[in-house]
Amino acid sequence: MSEAENVDESRRHFLLVATTVVGAAGAVATAIPFLSSWQPSARAQALGGPVEADISKLQVGELMKVEWRGQAIYIVHRSQEMLDKLKDHDGMLRDPNSEESEQPAFAKNAQRALNPEYLVLIGVCTHLGCAPMAKFKVGDTDVAADWPGGFYCPCHGSKFDLSGRVLKDVPAPLNLKVPPYYFSSNTTLVIGLDKGAA
């Protein structure tokens, strides 16, 4: 190899090494912010934890709300009359046996609850996410003459019965969701964990 060829070969080797080092440094520099964006924030972790609800003062026929993961959770203390009413309007419902809805296994039935007296739902309409309103009075003509009692979504008129089951011919496609939960005492609900997981 001539001296000129030796110089060219050394220069080519230097440029190759320099380019590789700069390229690797660039990859490290871009990898760090990318990885750090995957770390969950303390707020996100806090939002995911279970919450307790004291239901000791919740009277029969009343609704209370608590927040879990930034969503409203509806808890209804149902009367025997409300529970009896669940049996007589399956023909009005899109999914009366809650086959398609999102819920823990214990809620796959007409009552959709661990203890039928207490209904626990995520208060978010399954259409576009508005907050359904409590309309518990049977036959409330503000909603419909044959209204079985339940929840009415003011945004586009979706209707759900007293187990959060969606009626036919409304925009919402699914029953309201039931979150995971369990009773830690007769008057305390823990929302965000089911009994098995707890």
Catalog residues that contact ligand FES under the rule CB under 6 A: 125, 127-130, 153, 155-158, 171-172
- Sign, CA dihedral 145-148-151-156, equals negative
H or E element, residue 159 = strand 159-161
Query: Toward ligand FES, which CB reaches closer, 110 or 153?
Result: 153
Query: Toward ligand FES, which CB reaches closer, 53 or 166?
Result: 166
Give the shortest CB-169-to-ligand FES separation in angstroms: 12
Decide if 70 contacts 47 (C-beta within 8 A): yes
Q: What does residue 120 show for φ and ψ, rounded to 5 degrees?
A: -125, 120
Give the shortest CB-63-to-ligand FES separation in angstroms: 17
The C-alpha angle with vertex 153 and arms to 148 and 159, in degrees rounded to 5, equals 30
Query: Toward ligand FES, which CB reaches closer, 89 or 127?
Result: 127
Chain mean position to CA 89: 27
Give the shortest CB-157-to-ligand FES separation in angstroms: 6
Query: Toward ligand FES, which CB reaches closer, 111 or 126?
Result: 126
Give the shortest CB-159-to-ligand FES separation in angstroms: 9
